[in-house]
Chains A and B, each alone.
Chain A
Amino acid sequence: MTTLPYLVAGWLFLVGCYGLVTSRNLVHTVACLTVAQSATYVLLLAVGFRAGATAPVFGDIPVGTRVVDPVVQALSLTDIVVSATVTAVLLALTIQIHKRHGTVDPDELRALRD
């Protein structure tokens, strides 16, 4: 029970990778990559969780209350925004590939392999 959240993170990573590997469409590839990437958020926040504690925001609660780890939250917070922009770059690349090669199937992109 105490490692289950970590295992969910591992599962998300693997299932995202499986999607990447079996992909027939680069757009699908990018979406699977975001699934694999979300494993990192789950892992980070699971590591930082403290049972029975509250959010690390002291606006309404007295200082000294038990809170969960804010450092991992800060890490995953910036991670999410950056992942969106990286997804945007990948999707823009997909559009360019489609314009140049007329396909988004990774197996049909012979020009990239040569």
Chain B
Amino acid sequence: MSRRVRLVLFVVVAPVFAVLFFLATRGLPGFGSEFHPYGDRAVAVATGQRATANVVSSVNFDQRGVDTLGEEFILFGSVIGTVVLLRPAPGEREVGRRGAGRVLPTTRLAGYLLLPVTVLVGLYVIAHGQLSPGGGFQGGVVLATGWHLLYIAGRYAALRRAAPPTVLEIVESIGAAAFAAIGLAGLVIGGAFLVNFLPVGSFNDLLSGGTVPLLNGAVGVAVAAAIVLLLSGFLEQAVVLRRTEEPLAGSSIIAEEPLAGSSIIAEEPLAGSSIGAEEPIAGSSIIADGTEQR
């Protein structure tokens, strides 16, 4: 379909949608109405027998936990898809991050100062998901973005060394599996999948809500690992990998290889195995970092 055909189709269909949608909104309860049967029931259950102060968390992780399990596995599947799609293609190789040393000292300082604060905030948001706005989804994203402050501070190599993709993939799987395992434990102990089988504790207590804090933690781990994996995949594609013009040729051993001292080992990624190749380049760029810091 060319752009013209698409536009014609849109011009035909959009007014139909607009009219139908307008008619549909006439049938909805008005904005700000008092008619919320599901909401009222969810609030009654959450504040009553489940002792969960944040009703949104109660809905997400307790009353509609199976739904969140589904979302969790959409997340998992998308991350796998992205990681697979963003593998270094044959003919691509890592080039040195020559700009890495040019981070302003103030930026570096800000990154280092903000990193512990952000990680703490992320953990806080995850841990208090049953009490205050927040939870595994939000806290996980905060954790992941905090992690990338290391990148802003110019320590890409340190970032990769501290959390290699393989480790992150395992962490991500553990998070998703923990959610399912807690659900199965509910099946064994409570007789139904994802049933809240733990004592709910007293209302507005840090350990209230039964399985809600546990599931929040599992989701927090999974989401944090997922976002770090996604962002590092895109960072690698955009910043590190470059297409070499002579693909896969054996003669490329003499190709310009300014950063890595041991260029013969570094050439091997062209054959397809990128894991072995990342170490020497990363190592050499740390040295480069160190020299530029002085």
Contact = CB atoms under 8 A, between A and B. Distances in A.
A101 interface: no
28 contacts: A6-B21, A13-B17, A14-B17, A17-B14, A22-B3, A47-B28, A49-B31, A50-B34, A57-B56, A57-B131, A58-B204, A59-B53, A59-B204, A67-B39, A69-B39, A69-B42, A71-B38, A80-B137, A81-B75, A85-B78, A88-B78, A88-B82, A89-B78, A92-B81, A92-B82, A92-B233, A95-B86, A106-B3
B261 interface: no
B78 A86 contact: yes
Given A21-B10, A69-B39, A70-B42, A85 B32 contact: no
Interface in A3-36: 3-7, 10, 13-14, 17-18, 21-22, 24
Contacts of A56: 39, 43, 54-56
Q: Which of B22, B78, B204 counts the most A-chain CB atoms under 10 A from its CB? A: B78
Given A4-B31, A49-B32, A81-B75, A89 B10 contact: no
A103 B30 CA distance: 47
Contacts of B30: 2-3
Contacts of A67: 39, 43, 55
A74 B226 CA distance: 20
Nearest to B21: A10
The contact size tier of chain B is: 35 or more
A9 to B, nearest CB: 9
Contacts of B123: none
B98 interface: no
Interface string A43-87: 000111111100111110001000111111110011011101110
Interface residues of A, number: 54
A47 B38 CA distance: 12
Contacts of A80: 137
Interface stretch (B59-67, B177-185, B281-289): B59-67
A46 B141 CA distance: 25
A91 B234 contact: yes
A14 B54 contact: no
A5 B43 CA distance: 24
Nearest to B130: A59
A89 B81 contact: yes
Contacts of A74: 56, 59-60, 64
Nearest to A46: B31
B21 to A, nearest CB: 4
B14 A14 contact: yes
B143 interface: no
Interface of A: 1-7, 10, 13-14, 17-18, 21-22, 24, 46-52, 55-59, 63, 67-74, 77-78, 80-82, 84-86, 88-89, 91-93, 95-96, 99, 106-107
A22 to B, nearest CB: 6
A69 B38 contact: yes
B269 to A, nearest CB: 16
Given A57-B53, A88-B78, A88-B230, 9 more contacts: A2-B32, A5-B31, A22-B7, A71-B59, A78-B67, A78-B137, A88-B82, A92-B85, A96-B85
A95 B83 CA distance: 12
A3 B55 contact: no
A74 B9 CA distance: 35
Given A7-B25, A92-B85, A57 B14 contact: no
B244 interface: no
Contacts of A5: 31
A55 B28 CA distance: 22
Contact of B86 (A4, A14, A92): A92
A21 B12 CA distance: 12
A49 B34 CA distance: 9
